[in-house]
């Protein structure tokens, strides 16, 4: 029996890819990492999750930050929760709670004209540079100039620079005399002028909340993903206890099912329990009335 998969469109690749069902085991590892790790470790955990969940392994090396964010959002809405919940803690609407659908965030990302991003620069020594968006979710500012280089053409070769690891990138750049800092900086400025920040969440009517926008080169998308996937460990352990102790599920089964399934089972159980309590109260009231 084949495993359950979803299909999604990644905007910069302009391709449909398949994503495997998220298991609690992988979700728990990520949440623990977000709870305890630093940003580089958390970014690595996100990258590992993306590589694990994507079925089309040949596209992984081609993904930009936007593509990876879309993949993570699709994983979240299909296997964790369909919405992101907010609570207003300022202004006259303090305490107001509202939800934003994850699908609407993906729609906003798909509205951007990414054709404006590709930068082709001809420079000296017969070398041409092609720039794109960062490929990493979390990029140190000292690495941003090299992280946006997509391919490098020399007179005789084409180098897929974005597929090199950090050490390979440094060695390659040391081996050529062509300066890249100025054209890379110009490319970032040009992309920022053409696109600016990416809108994630539109202004919500009747709520004092500004639009949520994320920059392409500022790690704001990483911090949004970090906040989205963070979770209360106590709540997770309570659900784990519920599945094993109340429903009688074994631990291995719990680790293999998606987080959304656990949440659904918990809500159904709580709803059923409340209905039973109401019914018992009605029956007790009937008994008391009869006695009187």
pLDDT on residue 94 = 55
**Distance, CA of 209 to CA of 109 (rounded, Å):** 20
Give me the pLDDT at residue 1, please. Answer: 46
pLDDT for 176 equals: 74
| Residue 123 bridge partners (DSSP) | 127
HEC secondary structure over the chain: CCCCEEEEEECCCCEEEEEECCCHHHHHHHHHHHHHCCHHHHHHHHHHHHHHHECCHHHHHHCCHHHHHHHHHHHHHHHCCCEEEEECCCCCCCCCEEEEEHHHHHHHHHCCCHHHCCEEEEECCCEEEEECCCCCCCCCHHHHHHHCEEEEECCCCEECHHHCCHHHHHHHHHHCCCCCHHHHHHHHHHHHHHCCCEEEECCCCCCCCCCEEECCCCCHHHHHHHHHHCCCHHHHHHHHHHHHHHCCCCHHHHHHCCHHHHHHHHHHHHHHHHHHHHHHHHHHHHHHHHHC
**Please, are residues 34 and 226 in contact by the beta-carbon 8 Å criterion?**
yes
CA distances from residue 137 to 64, 79, 88, 134 in whole angstroms, order as listed: 8, 21, 28, 8
With beta carbons less than 8 A apart as the criterion, state whether 12 and 114 touch: yes
Q: What is the pLDDT of residue 24?
A: 94
Task: Note whether 158 and 151 are within 8 A (CB).
Answer: yes
pLDDT on residue 194:
80
Positive or negative, the CA dihedral 250, 51, 110, 186 is: positive
- Distance from C-alpha of 216 to C-alpha of 13, rounded to nearest angstrom: 17
pLDDT tens track of the chain, all 292 residues?
A: 457 899 999 998 889 999 999 999 999 999 999 998 799 999 999 999 999 999 999 999 889 899 999 999 999 999 999 998 776 555 555 556 677 889 989 998 988 888 777 677 777 667 888 888 888 899 887 788 888 888 888 878 888 887 888 888 888 888 877 777 788 888 888 888 888 788 887 766 665 556 778 888 889 999 999 999 999 999 998 888 888 888 888 889 889 999 999 888 888 878 777 887 777 777 676 655 555 5
């Amino acid at each position: 029996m084949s495993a359950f998969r979803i299909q999604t469109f990644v905007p910069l690749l302009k391709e449909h890819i398949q994503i495997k069902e998220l298991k609690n085991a992988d979700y728990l590892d990520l949440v623990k990492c977000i709870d305890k790790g630093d940003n580089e470790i958390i970014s690595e955990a996100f990258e590992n999750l993306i590589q694990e969940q994507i079925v089309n392994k040949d596209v992984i090396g081609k993904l930009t930050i936007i593509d990876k964010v879309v993949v993570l959002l699709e994983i979240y809405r299909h296997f964790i929760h369909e919405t992101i919940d907010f609570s207003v803690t300022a202004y006259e609407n303090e305490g107001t709670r509202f939800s934003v659908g994850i699908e609407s965030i993906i729609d906003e990302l798909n509205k951007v004209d990414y054709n404006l991003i590709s930068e082709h620069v001809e420079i000296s020594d017969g070398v041409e540079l092609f720039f794109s968006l960062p490929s990493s979710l979390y990029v140190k500012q000292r690495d941003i100039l090299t992280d946006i280089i997509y391919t490098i053409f020399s007179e005789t070769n084409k180098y897929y620079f974005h597929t090199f690891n950090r050490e390979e990138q440094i060695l390659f750049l040391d081996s050529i005399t062509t300066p890249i800092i100025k054209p890379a900086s110009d490319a970032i400025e040009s992309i920022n002028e053409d696109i600016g920040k990416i809108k994630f969440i539109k202004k919500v009517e009747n709520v004092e909340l500004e639009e949520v926008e994320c920059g392409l080169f500022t790690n704001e998308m990483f911090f949004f993903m970090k906040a989205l996937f963070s979770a209360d460990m106590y709540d997770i352990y309570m659900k784990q206890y519920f599945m094993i102790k109340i429903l009688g599920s074994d631990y291995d089964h719990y680790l293999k099912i998606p987080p959304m399934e656990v949440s659904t089972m918990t809500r159904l159980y709580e709803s059923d329990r409340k209905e039973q309590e109401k019914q018992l109260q009605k029956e007790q009231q009937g008994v008391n009335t009869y006695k009187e």
